């Protein structure tokens, strides 16, 4: 018998990834003046793909394969952006905006997880407060 639904595990994973994203952004901000530093980013798409783990198969050999040669790395280095004179590609304004967005996302995830646990507490208590 499964007590917790997948939503709690998914929320937990999303909180971990959001926390990692905050650390990566903070690292980018800390290295804004480091010569040659390349900004990093968290690839949420790869994380979601790994989380879902679809069992897909081809029904016809002429169909495109589902498994690609893409990297499954979570943290990637940004290489396709404009560089400063010192070879650094960190845009402080962009990083600060990403940090604020990530903080809002993280707080929303925490609120949702708290709501799940409060619902479980209510059920355990039989609806009494």
At 21, is the pLDDT very low, low, confident or very high (cuts 50, 70, 90)? Answer: very high
Let me know the angle formed at the C-alpha of 108 by 123 and 81, rounded to the nearest 5 degrees.
Answer: 150
Strand partners, 21: none
Task: Say what the pLDDT of residue 123 is.
Answer: 87
Q: With a cut of 90, say whether residue 61 has pLDDT above it.
A: no
For 12, other C-beta atoms within 10 Å of its C-beta total: 13
Give, rounded to a whole angstrom, the gap between the first and last alpha carbons of the chain.
26
Over residues 17-31, mean pLDDT: 96
- Where do we find the tokens 């595990």? 9
CB-based contact 112:21 (threshold 8 Å): no
Judging by DSSP bridges, how do beta strands 40-42 and 75-77 pair with one another? Answer: antiparallel
Burial letters 98-128, b for 16+ CB under 10 A, else e: bbeebeebbeebeeebeeeeeeeeeeeeeee
Task: Say what the pLDDT of residue 70 is.
Answer: 45
At 73, is the pLDDT very low, low, confident or very high (cuts 50, 70, 90)? Answer: low
């Amino acid at each position: 018998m499964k007590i917790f639904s997948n939503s709690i595990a998914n929320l937990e994973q999303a909180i971990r990834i959001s926390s990692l994203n905050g650390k990566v952004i903070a690292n980018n901000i800390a290295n804004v003046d480091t010569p040659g530093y390349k900004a990093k980013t968290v690839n949420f798409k790869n994380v979601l793909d790994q989380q879902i783990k679809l069992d897909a198969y081809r029904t016809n050999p002429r169909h495109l394969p589902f498994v690609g040669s893409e990297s499954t790395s979570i943290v990637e280095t940004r290489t396709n952006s404009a560089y400063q004179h010192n070879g650094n590609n960190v845009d402080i304004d962009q990083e600060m905006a990403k940090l604020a967005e990530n903080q809002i996302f993280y707080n929303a995830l925490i609120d949702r997880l708290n709501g799940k646990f409060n619902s479980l507490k209510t059920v355990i208590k039989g609806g009494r407060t």
